[in-house]
Structure 1
């Protein structure tokens, strides 16, 4: 089957499954809504902060506070895009129609990534502008140094979260197993390793801990990471490449 036909087929699959579409919408709503709420709370509490905390206040990063929860929906989206066919048994028909497994995986990943990127970029810009509106005189402008990079980086971060989840789901095939691993890693293991002094040097190289640096404009007070915003994003990209490569190798080797 030609690549164009594979892409069309994958697009039809994704938009015909309501759960995948709803998760993207939920990612946007949660990210924007929580970002607005945290921005309001941050403005109200700003005067109560210590002098050092005021100097390290990052209005841009505050507006992306919802990303920590919104990425949950992106993880679910990435897992469902891949594992839905395994859970329903449709994967056998798909691989019979597209026996070139590299082409099959490329088509699925390409369509899902394009959709995730579009939603993530709209979400990131909306989170920024609405969050800054709530911050009032504490707000940052899109033209300030590092701000546009952070806003675009927010969209890239969310997209890479979905891509990483697709790679893991391709390796594991089971949606429950994939979510059972990804959720604890992103919402328990990574925050713990990243905030405990004994394990912080390890935690800062996990995909979300490294990738989120791209959304920061003002360095945090305890920021001692040996890489900058783009370095952190590259670390996250490396994780994504490893996950996708692992998924491709296993897809090639085993039966459907």
Structure 2
């Protein structure tokens, strides 16, 4: 096994030995699928009450992902715990002593954590879609319709990328409490407020979650100045910036 292979194996051992990190992935799947199904059932029973304009822009695919806002919080928790757990326990000192090349250590952790988050995200996306469409009944769509497969796959990709963004922030802040204190209010409150207030909506449109979630829509509601792939690109820029900030802190500061 190569040197990098041993580092990968070490990072895999760290992640799977901490139950809380794996439980957060399971929580993301269960919460997203369950809440999406419940909201889809509600929409099914109240569909006739929708206005003509709302019916014209009704997106059954996006409706099934209505619970993803809570599911992404579990993914954020996963990303934070994977990184900051070493700082809170002091294990980061042993990790840096064993792997002094900090770029190698960070790359290995990102690779292993993403290899877990992305499959779970994709499984969540497809499970949530199928349950949501079953709940919508006659208002459902299917994977064969234009744009639907892209949106469903994109939902899973979005969840995995949210975890990656959280990892970058956790490296930059080096504290689980501080990371949660910044990320949870930002994604749960601040981002939505900025995106839905007329004075700040142009700023909100370019925040990572608002831009990235555009990949899950099939019907264009005209609320964003970019398409699905443009939104995902904006999200990737945020992730790259977060990881770069995390790497600079990891490289320059002692454990």
TM tier, shorter chain? over 0.9
Secondary structure at the aligned position of 1:142 is classed as coil
User: What's the counterpart of residue 40 of structure 1?
Assistant: 41
Q: Give 1:224 shift.
A: 3.6
Cα separation, 1, equivalents of 2:243 and 2:141: 36
User: What's the counterpart of residue 27 of structure 2?
Assistant: 26
TM (normalized to structure 2)? Answer: 0.98
Provide the alpha-carbon RMSD of the alignment: 0.8
1:73-84 correspondence to structure 2 within 5 Å? 73-84=74-85
Q: Give 1:208 shift.
A: 0.3
User: What's the counterpart of residue 154 of structure 2?
Assistant: 153
2:182 pairs with 1:177: no
Cα separation, 2, equivalents of 1:35 and 1:5: 40
Cα separation, 2, equivalents of 1:181 and 1:19: 20
Cα separation, 1, equivalents of 2:223 and 2:71: 26
Cα separation, 1, equivalents of 2:142 and 2:22: 32
Secondary structure at the aligned position of 2:58 is classed as coil
* Cα offsets for 1:197-226 (capped at 9, x unmatched): 111001000000000000000122xx2422
TM (normalized to structure 1)? Answer: 0.98
1:218-233 correspondence to structure 2 within 5 Å? 218-220=219-221, 223-233=222-232
User: What's the counterpart of residue 110 of structure 1?
Assistant: 111
Cα separation, 1, equivalents of 2:181 and 2:237: 22
1:87-236 correspondence to structure 2 within 5 Å? 87-220=88-221, 223-236=222-235
User: What's the counterpart of residue 254 of structure 2?
Assistant: 255
Q: Give 1:58 shift.
A: 0.4
* Cα offsets for 1:202-254 (capped at 9, x unmatched): 1000000000000000122xx24221000000000000000001101111111
Q: Give 1:9 shift.
A: 0.5
Secondary structure at the aligned position of 1:141 is classed as coil
Secondary structure at the aligned position of 1:227 is classed as coil
Cα separation, 1, equivalents of 2:137 and 2:4: 49
* Cα offsets for 1:43-76 (capped at 9, x unmatched): 0110000111011110000011110110010000
Cα separation, 1, equivalents of 2:56 and 2:47: 11
Q: Give 1:137 shift.
A: 1.0
Cα separation, 1, equivalents of 2:224 and 2:128: 26
Secondary structure at the aligned position of 1:140 is classed as coil
Cα separation, 1, equivalents of 2:184 and 2:46: 31
Cα separation, 1, equivalents of 2:76 and 2:225: 27
Q: Which runs of 5+ in 2 are unaligned?
A: none
